[in-house]
Chain A
Amino acid sequence: MSYPPQPTLPWSTAGQGPVTYDAYSLPVNDNVNPYAFSVELNGSYFLQKGKMVAYYGDISFQGVGHGALDRLLGQQFNSPLHASDWVVAQGRGKMVLADRAFDLNSYDLDQGNLTVRSGNLLAFEPTLALKQSIIPGFLTLLGTGKFVAASNGPVHFMEPPVRVDPQALVGWADCPAPCHHYDHHYMQGVLGGLRRLTGLGGASGEEHQFEFVGAGQVLLQSSEALMPERSVGQVDAEPGVPGGGLPQQGYQGGHQGGGQQLPNLQVPGLGNLGDLGRRFGL
């Protein structure tokens, strides 16, 4: 049996097998592949719980807020109620971080500020200060240093003015805080009223965007699949504090994968401990 000559198929000819790394050939503070990031540790590093997949060397992991680390915590970790989700890696060696095969990227801040969705932040150098953003569900990093963030698909940078889908927003740098933009254009008029009354025709799913203006960068992830949101804790109820005293709402509403870790304030038998119970793993 003879076959006709096959048309050329677009197979890649540069096939590569898996690369083997050792303690010396692992990249230094760089991506191993799009989904894993290698940190050269000499001192301490903050990372979210459960994001370390491997390490070389002598590294210890301790929960934030343990004994001798409290001083470090006070200086660099300014979001005390969020502390239960973070650990400090201390020692020397190389540490590989990964998160459910999401794309990882490192970002350098130079006397800057960057606000990132709390579930997307993986690790940061202690030279940066972590604070809770006044936008619920977001954390702000201040200062100089490097941090690692995850996104579903590569991150795309855009310069304002731009309006972005709430689920596609990873974070923003330097711009003033975003505001809400509602687009109910098609809800107006006779047909629009009919649509609103009857629900016929449904919604476009894009009535609501975040609007960014001013100078800076907006970070977009290429899909609308959200990472589970990390609770950023509860802000004290004070007049003038947005979201103060209320359980975090985050961005709920039927998003896939939005398994949020909200502090359960109504845990029976815990009295008024509130979020404390969660901190101590109760």
Chain B
Amino acid sequence: MPFHKINGKMVEAPVQPGQRMFSQRGAMLGYRGEVSFTPNLTGGQGGVMSMIGRRVANEDTPLMTVEGRGTVLFGHGGHHVHVVDLVGDTLCVEADRLLAFDGTLQQSTLFMGSQGGVMGIVRGQVTGQGLFTTRLSGHGSVAVMAHGGVFELPITPGQPVHVDPQAYVAHRGEVTNRLSSALGWRDMIGRGSGEAFQLELSGQGTVYVQASEEKL
């Protein structure tokens, strides 16, 4: 069921019997109809093994299952919300940025350390991503939270996009990301530009960027 964005900080999602939806705990603002909210022990889809995987990967944001019949409004902490409609492609996003997503989407944890070796570890530190990220794929809607408004930058082959690691929110499609550094002697003596690290995204897809360098 597609999410409907009401304003910059609120989304509306229809719930129908037989269809599950996952949302961050405590993110419900209001609802119509008969809807139940159940805390999700495993933090998403799959069984206990998936849960352990998420715990180990530190991608285990407390989620709740939303079931029933009606419409639910979601919003959290005054953060801006961006809706991504997936049509068979994948979205990589940090689990704590997930506001709500359709139960029809496949949720998995992705190891990012294989991309880039040592720089991958540094990238995880700088972006706040860590070494793991959550991957959603299939058909359905995802509501992603960001500090400040979100805009999309298209990535086409041969034309990589550079993004400030702190402003990076999520990416979609077949994209590899690499941390490019422009460290110089100025950074060593504390007179750097403050833009020593950049995230270089290449491939085919879209990157979502927030208009703020503040983390959630």
Binding site for B on A (CB under 8 A): 4, 6-10, 152-154, 156, 158, 161-165, 168, 183, 185-186, 200-207, 209, 218, 220, 222-225, 256
Residues in A neighbouring B41, C-beta threshold 8 A? 200-201
Q: A10-B152, A168-B30, A202-B25 are in contact. Are A152 and B159 (CB under 8 A)?
A: no
Per CB-CB distance, the 5 closest pairs between chain A and chain B, nearest first, are A205-B26, A223-B78, A153-B9, A164-B30, A222-B9
Contact of A202 among B9, B28, B39 (CB under 8 A): B39
A206 to chain B, nearest CB (A): 4
B7 touches A206 (CB 8 A): no
Binding site for A on B (CB under 8 A): 6-10, 25-32, 36-39, 41, 62, 64, 73, 75-79, 151-154, 156, 158-159
Q: A153-B9, A154-B9 are in contact. Are A224 and B37 (CB under 8 A)?
A: no
- Apart from A202-B39, A222-B9, what are 13 other A-B pairs with CB-CB below 8 Å? A4-B159, A153-B8, A156-B6, A163-B32, A168-B30, A168-B75, A185-B38, A202-B62, A204-B37, A204-B38, A223-B75, A223-B78, A224-B78
A4 touches B29 (CB 8 A): no
Contact of B76 among A161, A203, A209, A224 (CB under 8 A): A224
Residues in B neighbouring A186, C-beta threshold 8 A? 36, 38-39
| Cross-chain pairs A/B with CB under 8 angstroms, 7 sampled | A153-B8, A156-B73, A163-B30, A204-B25, A218-B30, A222-B7, A224-B29
Q: A10-B151, A186-B39, A200-B41 are in contact. Are A222 and B6 (CB under 8 A)?
A: yes
Q: CA A153 – CA B76 in complex, angstroms?
A: 11
Q: CA A207 – CA B36 in complex, angstroms?
A: 9
B30 touches A185 (CB 8 A): no
Residues in A neighbouring B30, C-beta threshold 8 A? 158, 162-165, 168, 209, 218, 220
Residues in A neighbouring B73, C-beta threshold 8 A? 156, 168, 220
Greatest chain B CB density within 10 A among A10, A163, A183, A220 is at A163
B31 touches A163 (CB 8 A): yes
Q: CA A222 – CA B37 in complex, angstroms?
A: 19
Residues in A neighbouring B64, C-beta threshold 8 A? 204-206
Residues in A neighbouring B39, C-beta threshold 8 A? 186, 201-205
Query: Which of chain A's residues has its CB closest to B10's CB?
Result: A222
Q: CA A205 – CA B37 in complex, angstroms?
A: 9
Q: CA A162 – CA B36 in complex, angstroms?
A: 14
Q: CA A220 – CA B76 in complex, angstroms?
A: 13
Q: CA A6 – CA B25 in complex, angstroms?
A: 41
Q: CA A209 – CA B38 in complex, angstroms?
A: 14
Residues in A neighbouring B32, C-beta threshold 8 A? 158, 161-163
Q: A10-B152, A165-B28, A204-B38 are in contact. Are A223 and B159 (CB under 8 A)?
A: no
Query: Which of chain B's residues has its CB closest to A9's CB?
Result: B153
Greatest chain B CB density within 10 A among A158, A200, A204, A256 is at A204
Query: Which of chain B's residues has its CB closest to A257's CB?
Result: B78
A206 touches B37 (CB 8 A): yes
B76 touches A223 (CB 8 A): yes
Greatest chain B CB density within 10 A among A6, A206, A223, A256 is at A206
Residues in A neighbouring B10, C-beta threshold 8 A? 153-154, 156, 220, 222
A179 to chain B, nearest CB (A): 15
Q: CA A256 – CA B29 in complex, angstroms?
A: 15
Residues in B neighbouring A220, C-beta threshold 8 A? 10, 29-30, 73
Q: A163-B31, A186-B36, A186-B38 are in contact. Are A152 and B78 (CB under 8 A)?
A: yes
